[in-house]
Amino acid sequence: MADQLWTRSATELASLIASGDVSSREVVDAHLDRIDAVNPELNAITVHMADDARAAADRADGSEPSGPLHGVPFTIKENIDQVGFATTQAVAAFVEAKPATNAPTVQRMLHAGAIPIGRTNMPELGLRVSTDNALRGLTRNPWSHDHTAGGSSGGEGSAIAAGMSPIGLGNDIGGSIRNPALCCGVAGLKPGYGRIPRATTIAPTEPGVSGQLMAVEGPMARTIADLRLGYEILSGSTPVDPRVVDAPIDGPPMAKRCGVVRDLGASTIGVGALAAVDDAAAALSDAGWEVVEIEVPDLAATHDVWLRMLAFDFSEALPLLATIMGEQEISVLRTLVAEAESRPGSAPQLFMERMRLQKLWSQVFANTPVVVGPGWNNPPFRHGDDLVEGEQMSILDDQLSFIVPANALGLPAVAMKTGEHDSLPTGVQIYANQQREDRCLSAAAVIENTNGVIRPIDPVWA
């Protein structure tokens, strides 16, 4: 069994360890061996913790179960604080930026008994939808040597897809959990506002506007059961993040009624993405759900709100950021800020518009408690296409048209693989109203029951 342990989900591994069928050391060794086998080509894991992980596994095997992930390995994105390791954010300027304490999400995974085995790659400061940087290099997609693994949690997506990790920690301000989940054919939960804490001891410790209102931490995995367990472990209040409240994991029962989005207005949904939506809708319908086609409110206005809120945090910081970021990367950020600042309306008007859109989406959820739509409208692009001058905004507008509502409006969303098209994964997103992550996860579980659980793949080298 040991040689196949890297194919198992986190919940499966936890059960095997708890029953005594396998040891934590066997599980950790299996994943470390898998890292040795495939990571040199993928470059998903940037910091290896083999010795520490083996020592932790031995301690786990010699102790009573400490939590629901006792002895199970996990990975951590490089912009999440972990004591003893630099929070590099993939820039050389931060290679000595070591935190005083663990981030809340890391601490909660440790408290649940999980064992960190590596830190994962990301773009500089998390500001691209593809994962490459001068410090750590390019992360490749296990499905295709030449196509993006997504960003900014691209290292997590690639590592989980290839079996190097069963579950990991990412974050999401513009699809940074969901983009790599969709590109690499795994699953990710972007929680709603106020569910999972986010904090750092690396200056600046207080987030800006977009960081406060749009950026969230969340789990990535291959199964919906793992996402749910990760969500349960990570959720809840803490003094270091006053935005987060204690709320029930499961809300009141919902009607099994799903709104399906097959039209995004100005953004064209590609053949593979549309087939993924139809497959998800069919799975829900076959399970007894009422499925109706709907239109979602004013996606262009929602994208505008997201873009302008994101630019708040970077417009004044551009001169400083230019000293630590690559020329192409800072050029993309300048383009984004310039585009945001060219749009009309004051800051108060922007937040009034945000409230208008939140109300409209709330009305959608009153009639259809779950909304299923595309992930990326088109397949993952080739490495570097998002840096081509004149193409940056079109890629953001096109691929992220159904991604950014979750960030702009504080909504939960699950991204998951549902199929394949032209040898690349396809998938969908499942939206629900604020504080109803349970609805997203319930619908995702139904779709998974039809399409099958995601298993790791062997990387395609060329």
Kindly list the distances between the CA atom of residue 250 and the CA atoms of 146, 195, 236, 253, 440, in Å, as whole numbers in the listed order.
Answer: 41, 12, 13, 8, 11
Q: Judge whether residue 303 has pLDDT over 50.
A: yes
Q: How confident is the model at residue 1 (pLDDT cuts 50, 70, 90)?
A: very low
pLDDT (average), residues 294-299: 96
Say which of 23, 24, 165, 176 is annotated catalytic: 176
> For position 391, what pLDDT does the model report?
79
pLDDT digits (tens, 9 = 90+) for 7-29: 999 999 999 999 999 999 999 99
Q: Which CATH architecture has domain 8-451?
A: Alpha-Beta Complex (3.90)
CA–CA distance, 278 with 260 (Å, rounded to integer): 8
User: Does this model's pTM top 0.95?
Assistant: yes
Complete DSSP assignment for 151-209: SSSHHHHHHHHTTS-SEEEEEESSSTTHHHHHHHT-EEEE--TTSS----SSSS-S--H
Say which of 24, 130, 144, 152 is annotated catalytic: 152
Say which of 9, 77, 144, 158 is annotated catalytic: 77
pLDDT (average), residues 417-424: 96
Q: How confident is the model at residue 204 (pLDDT cuts 50, 70, 90)?
A: very high
> For position 3, what pLDDT does the model report?
58
Sign of CA dihedral 398, 403, 407, 410: positive
Tokens of 60: 């786990």
Q: Judge whether residue 2 has pLDDT over 60.
A: no
Say whether 176 is catalytic.
Answer: yes
Q: DSSP H helical segments within 20-91, as ranges?
A: 24-42, 50-61
Say whether 346 is catalytic.
Answer: no
The residues near 423 (Cβ < 8 Å, ≥ 6 apart) are: 143, 144, 460
pLDDT digits (tens, 9 = 90+) for 32-68: 999 999 999 999 999 999 999 999 999 999 999 999 9
> For position 78, what pLDDT does the model report?
98
